[in-house]
Structures are given as C-alpha cells and as structure tokens.
Structure 1
Amino acid sequence: MKKQNVTFKRIQTFIGLALVLILLNSCTKELFTSGTTREFRLLSNTNGASYQIQVGLPYNYNPTDTYETIYVLDGKEIFGYVANRCREISDKLGVKNVLVVGISYGKDRSIDYTPTKVSSITGGAPQFLSFIENQLIPKIESEFHASPSRESRMILGHSYGGLFGAYAFCVKNKIFGNYLLLSPSFWFDNQVTFKMEKDHRLGNRNRKQLIFMGIGGNEEGDRMLAPFETFYHTLLNNYPNVKLEKNIERNQAHMGSREPNIIKGLEFYFKNR
C-alpha cells in the first residue's frame, strides 16, 4: 500500500508539472524577431493613463524613407505576432513592409475600448481615441518617419479592440483609412455602434475604405455572428468606395480565430493597400 501511495504521489506531481508547462506555453507571447523594436511610455493628456508603446521597425528600416503604419490594440499580447507576420507577408509578396505600433493598456482595456459608459469600467473610448489621434500618431510620424496620410494608417483590434476599431471608423473616419476588425463586440450597449454608424454615414460613405472583418464560426450566434453579418452588409450596401472582405474561421471560437484572421487580414491589407 505504501508503494502504491508513493507511485500515486509521483503521478500527481507529474500531472501538476505538465499542467504548469501547458499554462506557461499558452501564455507565451511571440517576440518580434524580424527587425528592431523601440519602446517608450506616453502619458495621455485626456485620461491621465500611461501607455507602453512598442514600435516594430522593418529589418531594412531607412530613417530617410516614409512608412505606412499599423496600430495594434492589445499590443502587450499580440504586437510580436503581428510584426512578424507583416515581415513574412511583405517578403512573400515582394512589397514594402510597414511600421507596427503596439499599444498596451493604460488603465483597463474595457474602459479604453468601449464607446459608451454603462458601468464604472466602460466608456473611455473617446478619450483613448483622442490620445491616439493627438499624441501617439504625431509622435510616430515625427520620430519614426511614418507617412502622415489617412490612407497610410491602419488599426487592428480583436474583440473589444474590434469594437474600438469600428467606433473609430464611425466617429473619426479621418484618422484611419484601413481597418482590421476581428471578432468585434458589437453586442456592447445594445449594439450602440450601429447607431453611430448610421449617424455618421453621410460624412463617411464616400471615403475610400479598406476593411477586413474576421470572426470564428463557433462564436455565439446572436451575440457575435449575427451583428457581425449585419455590420458587414451595412458596409457593403452603403459605402461605394469600400474595399471589403470577411472571413469566418469555421471551426474556431473567439480566441482560436484571432491568429488565423490576423494572417488573412494582413494578407488582404498588403495585397490591396
């Protein structure tokens, strides 16, 4: 019996170590290995939050040249993944690479990425967008030679980040000309983004837009997939100058669809920008 107990304890220890290794692997963030990363913190004048910013420079970065820019929300988690895929895709297609700007959290992503206040941890998107427009973009353009045109800027966001990208599209369309909206949380505040789109449609509809929308086929039907399709068809039917594509990762849920849709969205962007 004593021998059996020792064996059982060894099995428990082995299982515990295996679970820890699985957890660590699942939390590992991909490092940017295809170029040089510059990092700095920037204090927002609008909400008082301090943001960690990562700027991925192409491996052949030329400070006398100008570059298009991808602004990546949830930068702490996916900056490296996006920057490495940009290098791979631009090399594959034989086109010029971009600056990748990762924006990490200031206070809380649920505050920064949501457009209206329905609780104590929502509703900070107007202030966060003002920070991006009036502080971050000018710094990137002055210090890293980013092109100053609307058409040269893209925003990439997933979940609440996708909601924020759609919010920027609706209310401040002059900032970004390109959007990667991945699993956007259109359900937020009774789908308030749809009202914002309609309210601003007249001023936005004739601008050139490059928009990729991606989601997982196993995401919730009424909460995620139905409003995703509604927004897609709203763009398709009302924006004559939009270049639009959608992708549904059929066997993936909310998080599993993120990386495949990043790849497909970046391929769409580099082929059509």
Structure 2
Amino acid sequence: MKLLSITCMILILLLPACRKDKIDHARISTFDLTSSVNGSTYQIKVALPKHFSTDRTYKTLYVLDPKTDFNLVASECDKKSSDLNKEEILVVGIGGGNNRLDDYFPVPYKGHKGAADKFIQFIQQELIPKMEKDFHASNTRADRAMIGHSAGGLCVAYCFTNYPGIFGNYLCLSPSLWLGNQIVLKNEKAHRAINQTSTGVFFLAAGELEEEIMRPPIALLDQILQQHYNGFTKQYHLARGLDHLGSKTPNIKQAVAFYFQQL
C-alpha cells in the first residue's frame, strides 16, 4: 500500500495540473536568464503592476511551476490588490532551466539530481538582483514571497528551513515533505534555534483527500509552526473533499488572499 502511494505521488509530481486564467499580456515582461551557478537557462515571466512606476519599489511574489500557475497567481494578485485596496506587487514566474524535480528536490530521488541548493542560489544571487535592478523590486527579505505546490511546495519549505534570509513570506501548498525520509523536517529541527527568531508569513495548505503518504508530515509541519515560530503570522488551510491536484487552485486562491491580508 505504501509503495502504491509513493508511485501515485511520483506520477502526480511529474504532471502538474494545467489551467487557463486571463491577465493583460501587455503587462507581462519575459526574458531568459542563464545562471552561472548551474549553467541552466531560465525563462522568467514578470507580471507588472497595473500602475507600475519607476519612482517606487515593489514587493515580489516568486512563482514555481509558472507554466501552470503563473496566470492564476498573477490574476489573483490583481483581484486581491483591488478588492482589499492593497499595494500592487510584482509576480515573477521562474520557468525552464532543468527538469523541475531536479531543481525542486533538495536530495537525489528516483533519478532526479536533488539540485535545489543551486536553484535557490540562482534565485538569490542572480534573479533577485536583476529584479531589483530592472524592475524596482524591494531589496528586503520582508518584501519577498514564494509560492509553490507539491514538489514546488517542498522547495518553498526548503527555502524556509535552509535559506531563511532570502524570503520572509512562504505560500506552501501540499508540499511533498515525505521525500528523502522527510529531510526538510529534519532540516527544520536542526536549524530551529536560529530560524525561529525570524518573522514573516507562512501559509500552509493541503487537500483533505491527499494521498496517505502526504498528510502526516504536512500536519507535523503545521504543529511545528504553531509551537515554535511565534514571529510568523500563520494559517493552515485544509481544502475539504479535495485531493492533491483538486485542492491546488482553491489553495492558491486562499494563499494569495491570506498574503494580501498581511500587506
């Protein structure tokens, strides 16, 4: 039964759900960025605020798996900015590069390289400086957020445990925390004494009908956040009656709404 669950989750990790959401393409800037860290070329997509101005700086939300999720995240940011009368932000999709599982996994697994460290270093050392220089992104940790689902959610959690100085806000959806014998949760415990002094926002979500292998480590992360990270504004959302893929869209919407409520 456990082997079947793992097999199912590998298939889900490989096949992120596709969807279509409208956003004004005139506000989208795209460019390729080749990394000197890992030699890979990433297709970067930036949704500019409706009233973009070079006279100010902007908070930034970095989106993993942008091929499937960028338009939804960007359109939801537009809606929440308007509905809640909150400041507009930059939405940045990080696409291409390596196989997504090579970039998102922190350790090797099933033929995937476990190159998350180099991927995150690319973001920190090359992408973020370009966003600050060319798109007037704020240069503070508190003004940066990252969103990811499944393997992307795992990468978000890994940034939280191992690279807490990059992002202050984490939108972590159905993270595959089971991977590598729950290596990310082990990292959290090892780094807790230092990391728990940080402040920020952490939105954690899952589907009520997630595969059996998914649920316990996600519940444990929620418990850890509640007990040890008092400096974070936190929310855990369980999408009732929905599975791993079915919960993705509603949890993205919940995550963006929660994030904007904190701005």
Q: What corresponds to 2:237 in structure 1?
A: 247
Give 3-state SS (helix, strand or coil) of 1:64's partner. coil
Q: Tell me how far apart the structure 2 counterparts of residues 114 and 60 of structure 1 sit (CA, whole Å).
A: 37
Q: Tell me how far apart the structure 2 counterparts of residues 109 and 217 of structure 1 sit (CA, whole Å).
A: 25
Query: RCO greater where, 1 or 2, for CA within 8 Å and sep 6 or more?
Result: 2
Q: Tell me how far apart the structure 1 counterparts of residues 181 and 148 of structure 2 sit (CA, whole Å).
A: 20
Q: What corresponds to 1:202 in structure 2?
A: 193
Q: What corresponds to 2:92 in structure 1?
A: 101
Q: What corresponds to 1:13 in structure 2?
A: none
Q: Tell me how far apart the structure 1 counterparts of residues 183 and 47 of structure 2 sit (CA, whole Å).
A: 34
Is the contact between residue 106 and residue 117 of structure 2 (CA under 8 Å) also seen in structure 1? yes
Q: Tell me how far apart the structure 1 counterparts of residues 25 and 81 of structure 2 sit (CA, whole Å).
A: 12
Residues 246 and 35 (structure 1 numbering): CA distance in 2 closer, same or farther, change over 3 Å? farther
Is the contact between residue 107 and residue 114 of structure 2 (CA under 8 Å) also seen in structure 1? yes
Q: Among 148, 158, 163, which residue is 1:157 paired with?
A: 148
Q: Tell me how far apart the structure 1 counterparts of residues 20 and 98 of structure 2 sit (CA, whole Å).
A: 21
- After TM superposition, the score normalised by the length of structure 1 is 0.88
Q: What corresponds to 2:226 in structure 1?
A: 236
Q: Tell me how far apart the structure 2 counterparts of residues 32 and 149 of structure 1 sit (CA, whole Å).
A: 27
1:31, distance to aligned residue in structure 2 (A): 4.0
Q: Identity over the aligned pairs, expressed in percent?
A: 40
- After TM superposition, the score normalised by the length of structure 2 is 0.91
Q: What corresponds to 1:65 in structure 2?
A: 56
Correspondence 1:126 to 2:104: no
Q: Tell me how far apart the structure 2 counterparts of residues 191 and 68 of structure 1 sit (CA, whole Å).
A: 31
Q: What corresponds to 1:42 in structure 2?
A: 33
Which residue identity is paired with 2:241?
Answer: N
Q: What corresponds to 1:16 in structure 2?
A: none
Q: Tell me how far apart the structure 1 counterparts of residues 150 and 30 of structure 2 sit (CA, whole Å).
A: 25
Give 3-state SS (helix, strand or coil) of 2:214's partner. helix
Q: What corresponds to 1:188 in structure 2?
A: 179
1:97, distance to aligned residue in structure 2 (A): 1.2
Give 3-state SS (helix, strand or coil) of 1:146's partner. coil
Correspondence 1:226 to 2:216: yes
Is the contact between residue 34 and residue 83 of structure 1 (CA under 8 Å) also seen in structure 2? no
1:119, distance to aligned residue in structure 2 (A): 4.0
Structure 1 gap segments, 5+ residues each: 1-25
Residues 57 and 150 (structure 1 numbering): CA distance in 2 closer, same or farther, change over 3 Å? same
Q: Tell me how far apart the structure 2 counterparts of residues 56 and 187 of structure 1 sit (CA, whole Å).
A: 33
1:143-182 equivalent positions in 2, closer than 5 A: 143-182=134-173
1:214, distance to aligned residue in structure 2 (A): 0.9
Is the contact between residue 35 and residue 58 of structure 1 (CA under 8 Å) also seen in structure 2? no
Is the contact between residue 145 and residue 170 of structure 2 (CA under 8 Å) also seen in structure 1? yes
Query: What are the superposed Cα offsets for residues 217-249 of structure 1, whole Å, 9 maximum, x if unpaired?
Result: 11113x111111100111110112111101011
Correspondence 1:112 to 2:110: no
1:107, distance to aligned residue in structure 2 (A): 1.5
Query: What are the superposed Cα offsets for residues 54-78 of structure 1, whole Å, 9 maximum, x if unpaired?
Result: 0000111111111000000001211
1:32, distance to aligned residue in structure 2 (A): 2.2
Moved over 4 A (4+): none
